[in-house]
């Protein structure tokens, strides 16, 4: 696949789930980069229009197109609006998602199905519509997965399963597009725990307020990864070392990690902090939107070294090589000041030495016979 993504400044971008959290943070970052146009998609029409008005004041034209991503015909209308307004789109971001907290026995099957309609089928609908358009002009599809696509979190089993499905679909879509030579790049973004209204929007069967396990990361880090992916080809980007480490541990010691997550699963995902009731439970219908962050009293991490390493792989590799060399110099015996071996002379090896008269004369090593032997002529006087 040999094509170049346009600079963000020349792009029209479609973002689903744009009314809050990561989607809203991404919309604002695209505007800060001077994107040519934005198509904002979510179920909450009032919130979308307020956000579009806000972004239009910054110079980027943004339009609000309310739609339910689980309904393909509504997403087709989104694509039509993008074509009519901007002549098409260059990047499509599938961010819309819903969540459920509860045990498998507590959560009704219809709720489970509804979550998959949004989280999985919403990504499928958006991706296939985007791919059909981008085959002709080139561009990028960005799907929001999760570190939970690598490791299931108990009490969020339905959500974890949907993100496993999103990863599988995204990998298959990428391979099919690449095999046919389509000028379309597909990126999967995998956030760790992010401080968004996700927990307040979730349907909750736990009997306590919902929370996400620490450490929490700033939604703007995920938005940075999305904007970066719109103009740089990356297969996957993971935000947050904490979530990445859990996935890695699950591959190395899955049973041990099971036990650790069982021990902390309930306490790490519940809180007694009051939440905004008007946001609660958007599984079947839109609730209050418009905020990037949750109302929980946590200070999210605003940097992710793991993300920076993925964005700048060459510089990261050079730094790691330098660090490795420095550690070797400090720890490996004799790495820096290896003593030079002194050459031993044979007892009869001839060397050149200075003798007292200032002239170079051949002489013998240890055990030599008198220097006068073999020297012709009169000795020079010593001064």
- 349, two tokens: 């090896």
- C-alpha distances (whole Å) from 66 to each of 49, 74, 91, 135, 286 are 9, 8, 18, 25, 11
Per-residue pLDDT, averaged over 161-188, amounts to 98
Superfamily of chain region 8-303: NAD(P)-binding Rossmann-like Domain (3.40.50.720)
Per-residue pLDDT, averaged over 304-315, amounts to 88
Tens-digit pLDDT profile for residues 29-57:
999 999 999 999 999 999 999 999 999 99
% of the chain residues with pLDDT over 90? 72
Return the higher-pLDDT residue of 265 and 329.
265
Q: Is the pLDDT confidence value at 65 over 70?
A: yes
Per-residue pLDDT, averaged over 349-353, amounts to 52
Q: Is the pLDDT confidence value at 361 over 70?
A: no
Name the average pLDDT for the chain.
Answer: 88
Residue/partner pairs of 229-233 with CB below 8 Å, 24 or more apart? 229/140, 229/142, 229/187, 229/189, 230/5, 230/8, 230/11, 230/13, 230/30, 230/90, 230/91, 230/140, 230/142, 231/5, 231/6, 231/7, 231/8, 231/11, 232/5, 232/311, 233/5, 233/185, 233/187
Q: Is the pLDDT confidence value at 379 over 90?
A: no
- 313, two tokens: 């792989």
Q: Is the pLDDT confidence value at 368 over 90?
A: no
Catalytic residue among 159, 198, 217, 293: 159
pLDDT reported for residue 152: 94
Per-residue pLDDT, averaged over 312-331, amounts to 71
Query: 353 falls in which pLDDT band (50, 70, 90)?
Result: low
pLDDT reported for residue 251: 85
Per-residue pLDDT, averaged over 283-303, amounts to 93
> Is 159 one of the annotated active-site residues of the chain?
yes
Tens-digit pLDDT profile for residues 128-144:
999 999 999 999 999 99
Query: 248 falls in which pLDDT band (50, 70, 90)?
Result: confident
pLDDT reported for residue 371: 47
Domain limits, the chain: 8-303, 307-339
Q: Is the pLDDT confidence value at 372 over 50?
A: no
């Amino acid at each position: 696949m040999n094509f170049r993504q346009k600079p963000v400044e020349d792009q029209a971008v479609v973002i689903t789930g744009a009314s809050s959290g990561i989607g809203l943070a991404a919309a604002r970052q695209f505007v800060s980069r001077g994107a040519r146009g934005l198509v904002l998609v979510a179920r909450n029409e009032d919130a979308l229009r307020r956000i579009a008005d806000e972004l239009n004041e910054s110079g980027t034209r943004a339009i609000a197109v309310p739609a339910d991503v689980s309904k393909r015909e509504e997403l087709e209308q989104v694509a039509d609006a993008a074509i009519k307004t901007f002549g098409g789109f260059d990047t499509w971001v599938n961010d819309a998602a819903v969540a459920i907290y509860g045990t498998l026995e507590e959560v009704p099957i219809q709720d489970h199905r509804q979550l998959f309609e949004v989280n999985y089928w919403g990504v499928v609908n958006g991706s296939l519509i985007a791919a059909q358009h981008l085959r002709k002009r080139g561009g990028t599809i960005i799907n929001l997965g999760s570190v939970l696509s690598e490791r299931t979190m108990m009490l969020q089993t339905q959500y974890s399963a949907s993100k496993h499905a999103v990863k599988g679909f995204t990998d298959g879509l990428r391979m099919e597009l690449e095999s046919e030579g389509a000028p379309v790049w597909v990126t999967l973004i995998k956030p760790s725990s992010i401080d968004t209204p996700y927990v307040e929007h979730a349907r909750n069967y736990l009997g306590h307020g919902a929370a996400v396990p620490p450490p929490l990361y700033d939604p703007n880090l995920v938005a940075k990864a999305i904007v970066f992916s719109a103009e740089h080809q990356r297969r996957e980007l993971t935000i947050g070392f904490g979530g990445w480490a859990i996935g890695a541990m699950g591959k190395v010691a899955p049973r041990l990690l099971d036990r650790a997550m069982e021990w902390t699963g309930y306490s790490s995902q519940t809180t007694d902090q009051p939440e905004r009731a008007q946001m609660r439970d958007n599984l079947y219908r839109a609730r209050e939107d418009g905020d990037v962050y949750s109302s929980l009293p946590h200070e999210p991490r605003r940097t992710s070294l793991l993300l920076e390493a993925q964005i700048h792989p060459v510089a990261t590799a050079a730094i790691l090589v330098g660090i490795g060399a420095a550690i070797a110099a400090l720890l490996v015996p004799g790495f820096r000041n290896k003593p030079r071996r002194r050459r031993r002379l044979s007892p009869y090896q001839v060397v050149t030495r200075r003798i007292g008269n200032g002239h170079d004369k051949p002489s013998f090593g240890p055990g030599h016979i008198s220097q006068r032997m073999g020297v012709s002529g009169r000795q020079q006087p010593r001064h």
